[in-house]
């Protein structure tokens, strides 16, 4: 397993990858990062570049091989999250409907919260049915900041950039 660190406005992103795919991304506070050793591989360098471009407003969709560990259902949820366009949100209910069973809303929300590659698999784009920001493992302030970041690149007429 290879690891790398990237400083962002949200904290320090710690990326984990095999030679073939990104498998996890954690968000750390600066104090937690001090003892970390980084090891760049071509894949991790590519991931760091894409994340840097995302935060600069230059990238809306990531192009990285992903291999998050999870159950079959969790992987289905995460695959559905990847379909949510940049700068838009859906509700947990809508996520369940997209999965084919509106009754699986709690299971879908749980899987959303266990997403091991936050931001790249955009779990932050799922909100409450009433439009409120709910349920973000990295802290609601981070979810709000990511959504605000994305929304600033959407023109009023709905086109991107």
Question: pLDDT tens-digit profile of 71-113?
Answer: 999 999 999 999 999 999 999 999 999 999 989 999 999 999 9
Query: Rounded to whole angstroms, how far apart are CA atoms 51 and 58?
Result: 10
Contacting residues for 126 by C-beta, under 8 A, at least 6 apart: 81, 84, 89, 90, 91, 92, 95, 109, 112, 135
Active site residue 123: yes
The first and second tokens of residue 145, run together, are 């900041």
pLDDT tens readout for residues 104-132: 999 999 999 999 999 999 999 999 888 88
**9 with 36: CB under 8 angstroms?**
no
Length of the chain: 161
pLDDT tens readout for residues 132-160: 888 777 788 888 899 988 988 775 554 44
**4, 123, 126, 146: which one is catalytic?**
123
CA dihedral (139, 143, 144, 148) in degrees, to 10, reads: 150
Confidence of residue 29 (pLDDT cuts 50, 70, 90): confident
Q: What is the value of pTM for the model shown?
A: 0.88
Three-state secondary-structure class, residue 49: helix
Query: Rounded to whole angstroms, how far apart are CA atoms 53 and 30?
Result: 21
Confidence of residue 23 (pLDDT cuts 50, 70, 90): very high
If one compares 122 and 40, the residue with the highest pLDDT of the two is 122
**96 with 118: CB under 8 angstroms?**
no
pLDDT of residue 137: 73
β-partners of residue 25 are 15, 117
């Amino acid at each position: 397993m290879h690891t790398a660190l990237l400083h962002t406005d949200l904290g320090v992103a710690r990326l984990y990858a095999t030679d073939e795919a990104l498998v996890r991304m954690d968000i750390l506070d600066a104090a937690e990062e001090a003892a970390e050793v980084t090891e760049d591989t071509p894949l991790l360098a590519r991931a760091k570049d894409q994340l840097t471009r995302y935060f600069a407003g230059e990238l809306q969709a990531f192009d990285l091989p992903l291999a998050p560990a999870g159950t079959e259902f969790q992987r289905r949820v995460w695959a559905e999250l990847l379909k949510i366009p940049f700068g838009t949100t859906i509700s947990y209910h809508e996520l369940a409907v997209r999965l084919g069973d509106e009754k699986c809303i709690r299971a879908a929300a749980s899987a959303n919260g266990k997403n091991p590659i936050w931001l790249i698999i955009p779990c932050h784009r799922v909100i409450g049915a009433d439009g409120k920001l709910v349920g973000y493992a990295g802290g609601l302030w981070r979810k709000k900041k990511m959504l605000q970041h994305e929304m600033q690149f959407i023109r009023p007429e709905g086109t991107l950039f």
